[in-house]
Amino acid sequence: MVFSSTLFLFGFLPLTLAGYYLCLFLDKKIFKDRKIFGNYWLLFMSLIFFAWSQIGYVWIIAASILINYTGALLIYSGREKNSLPDSAVQVRNPIGLTAEDSAVQVRNQRKGLKVNKRPEKLFLFLTVAANLLLLFYFKYFDFTIATVNQIFKTGFSLRNIVLPIGISFFTFQAMSYTIDVYRNKAGVQKNPFKLALYVMLFPQLIAGPIVRYTDVEAEIDERSVSIDDFSDGARRFIIGLSKKALIANTMAVTVDSIWGQGIENNTVAIAWLGAIAYGLQIYFDFSGYSDMAIGLGRMFGFHFLENFDLPYISRSITEFWRRWHISLSSWFRDYVYIPLGGNRKGTLNTYRNLFIVFLLTGIWHGAAWNYIFWGLWHGMFMLVERAFRKPGGSTAGHVNVSVIDTGSRGRSGPEVSQMSKENDVFENIKVLIRHVYTLLVVLIGWVFFRAGSLSEGLWYLKTMLGRALGQTPGYSVMWYLDGWTAFILVAGIALSLNIPGFLLRKTGFETDRILNIKVKKCEEREVQGKTEVKSEVKSEVKSEVESEVESEVESEVESEVKSEGNPAVCTFARDIALILLLLLSVMRIVSGTYNPFIYFQF
């Protein structure tokens, strides 16, 4: 079951919401702020959600929960046994020694006593090993056997194991809980059903984002769901559904048609169309699903962190990985890169750690050599960018503003203005070059990600470069571009590059968005008088917009405060647009039978 299906939209989701809010009503009447019935209802519906497609694999996620629940308890019990009671420290408190001095003496004596942490480390090792073994068997066992057969010419039979949905996501999520308990960053959860709810919560179960236990620990027991939370979550869900149903699914038809016709039927233009369309498909597919997950979480009172931040506007591969699949990249940073030493142990060790992280990133995405190559492809450019990074953390492509300012001191008039214009042009050219470089690297990487094998990816790349064209291609690029597809292609490129936001900033209308964000604050302050509201909003907006549009911002703020109907009109217009997007998305889902989801297999 996926979010963009009629079964989910018209069956599972309404039933889950109705039952959940009924349970919240009962919880409030019986348990006050504690979410007892609400948690059990979400756990029950999450179990149905997971079991709908693979009921025979429910035991796998149950085993994952049991492994990490037991491991965290053992780590906690080992810590409790190793904790030193006050009686273990003999403190002499002579006359005249203050309580503060006595406490310092206790701490100093405690430091001298060794605490045996070996049991905790052993329990952590066994828990992580059990998680990885479970993941390895179901995801990588057949791949390993096939690789051994290919290299050593052996004939071991494959098991043809069916991959459980979401196993990479819920395994990493459950492991982060145990590791954080070991690090004392998270409290141990003694109620197995609450831990099961954290691991199995259906909005993020099969495709993330990878939620840390520390992010939702407090919300498992105490959370509030206001009308604003629900409406914001619903809006976010509709945006994600629109990304998936309108853009990703349309691009998927084009991509699969191009790859399905065979590389020999491609021209250079068709090959580039296929690569660009796939880049849009995977971005709007995955970010749309993350938007839906975050929106659903808000509707149930959970606040998940963002997973995408306009990755295609990046100017380096390093920046790309700060914006793409943020929950995964931060997971590898915190649980692999930093424990290996990060960048604290010299250049060579830093390169080694980055290599390991991106090797594991490729392996995590799929049990095939093209995924591994994709991970190493990105890792290679990360290493190159780090090698050319200037001291102090800036890359070679950045302009040092302080140098420009210093060089212009003592000059004034037309000369400074001319220098400023030349510097702006030069900087814009460098930014454009870096942006194009990043997009090319990412698109080439997506070719190997989409290919069925490493050799197929190389052949497709040759076609893009005009080096492996068929003798008589049977199709032209217009064969794949009807009116709707061309419109969605242009819209997808514009949205992924944030061109609408860029135009709004250039024209000054971006202030409308800023003002809408502050509508709630304005309404709260309205009781204090319109004059006070106006001055506060003006000062806040000025701090958030560029200096060159200050005058425009002030006029927008004044008109917004004077006309109380404007925020309501903007909100009404936005909601009407979202309703239209929802209707159009549902029509596309109901009328079409093609609704793939790329990350469903991970």
Q: Return d(Cα 545, Cα 282) in angstroms, integer.
A: 32
Tokens of 368: 């095939």
Q: Return d(Cα 409, Cα 166) in angstroms, integer.
A: 59
Q: Which residues contact 477 (CB under 8 A, 6 or more apart)?
A: 267, 269, 270, 273
Q: Return d(Cα 545, Cα 59) in angstroms, integer.
A: 53
Determine whether 365 is an active site residue.
yes
Tokens of 272: 């580039």
Is 335 in contact with 419 (CB distance < 8 Å)? no
Q: Return d(Cα 233, Cα 179) in angstroms, integer.
A: 30
Q: Return d(Cα 596, Cα 594) in angstroms, integer.
A: 6
Half-sphere exposure of 341 (CA within 13 A, CB side): 14
The catalytic position among 303, 365, 378, 398 is: 365
End-to-end CA distance of the chain: 15
Exposed / middle / buried, residue 161 (Cβ in 10 Å: 0-12, 13-18, 19+): middle
- CA–CA distances in Å: residue 30 to residues 23, 24, 25, 217, 240: 10, 10, 9, 22, 36
* Sign of the dihedral through C-alpha 188, 190, 192, 196: negative
Q: Return d(Cα 49, Cα 42) in angstroms, integer.
A: 10
Which residue in 187, 189, 141 sits closest to 164, CA to CA?
A: 141
Which amino acids are annotated catalytic?
365
